[in-house]
Structure 1
Amino acid sequence: MRDLIAKCNTVAGWFRDPLFLVGRLLLSFLFFDSGFGRLTGGWADAAQQMQSHDVPLFLLPFVTALELFGGAFLALGLLSRLSTLGLGVFAIIAAFVFFGNFADTAHWFPFLDNIAIGGGMLLILGAGPGRWSLDHVLGLERSVYGRRTAGKPVRDGTAKPPVA
């Protein structure tokens, strides 16, 4: 069993950066599409939904900007940790505000979807965006194995490097 786990870890390590990129793109599309859709005709529907849940309408432009720019930044891997923090907190809050009526079973799966998306954002927040990101290229990424400067790892002795 340990050999199988070791082989899985090795193969996953080979594809780590492409997997981070694909994961970021998949998560970012959800938010970017929502924000862009709101700007291209969905504003009134979003405003009505917010009013029906007693959410102040002055938040709508901020939510739209968060989804649009946060989604774009996440896709590019730019300011990834800040973007994922904002989008993750937003997803979890939205889960409770819009789908927190647990007496209505139709709310359960959308609630879990938002909670899972928030969990995905927490993973990116903790692990970083990967090397295929603008954060890495610009030297803004802080890896779980040490800090990075201009895309080059600098071992600071606080964590051991991964075992291959």
Structure 2
Amino acid sequence: MNLLRVISAPISRIFIALIFVISGWNKIFSYTDIQGYMASMGVSGELLPFVIGIEVLAGSAVIIGWQTRLAALALSGFSILSAVIFHMDFTDQIQFIMFMKNLAIAGGLLLLVANGPGAYAFDNRHRTQ
């Protein structure tokens, strides 16, 4: 069981954070379209560099386990905020699913905040076993 715990920690970090890293990179290559979408939802397109930074930098930090609790907390808040701003049309089933997906991701990230990064994380490099 201990081996499962050791292996599942880094795999879990990768799985939960990869969506942010990929999404952030995709926003770079669709910058104008994303700015337009944000504006259509009442959010200033000037915030897009901040959004990209949070997704790519905090997502990467969670993956490698560096400042994991802080990065996971930031991404959790980002997920909840995104759900509330972009996915509140519950008459549209896809938007409802997207809202619930964001909440589920936020919940998983909060588990990282509570429990730390687990094995194979930069946060553990100063610990002696």
Indicate the SS of the match to 1:102.
coil
Once the two structures are TM-superposed, the CA of residue 52 in structure 1 deviates from its matched residue by 1.1
Percent identity of paired positions between Structure 1 and Structure 2: 30
Among 48, 61, 66, the alignment partner of 1:73 is: 61
Q: Which residue of 1 aligns with 2:127?
A: 151
Q: Which residue of 2 aligns with 1:142?
A: none
Between the two proteins, the alignment pairs up a number of residues equal to 129
Among 3, 8, 18, the alignment partner of 2:7 is: 18
Once the two structures are TM-superposed, the CA of residue 46 in structure 1 deviates from its matched residue by 1.2
List runs of 5+ in structure 1 lacking aligned partners.
1-10, 138-149, 154-164
List runs of 5+ in structure 2 lacking aligned partners.
none
In 2, the alpha carbon distance for the partners of 1:105 and 1:25 equals 28
| TM-score, normalised with respect to structure 1 | 0.75
Among 77, 81, 91, the alignment partner of 1:89 is: 77
In 2, the alpha carbon distance for the partners of 1:54 and 1:68 equals 23
Q: Which residue of 2 aligns with 1:127?
A: 115
In 2, the alpha carbon distance for the partners of 1:136 and 1:91 equals 26
Among 24, 31, 51, the alignment partner of 2:20 is: 31
Once the two structures are TM-superposed, the CA of residue 88 in structure 1 deviates from its matched residue by 0.5
Query: Over alpha carbons, which structure has the higher Rg?
Result: 1
In 1, the alpha carbon distance for the partners of 2:36 and 2:9 equals 36
Runs of 4+ more than 2 Å apart: 103-106
In 2, the alpha carbon distance for the partners of 1:114 and 1:73 equals 19
2:38 maps to 1:64: no
Preserved contact between residue 36 and residue 45 of structure 2 (Cα < 8 Å)? no
Give the superposed CA RMSD: 1.2
| TM-score, normalised with respect to structure 2 | 0.94
More RCO (CA 8 Å, sep 6+): 2
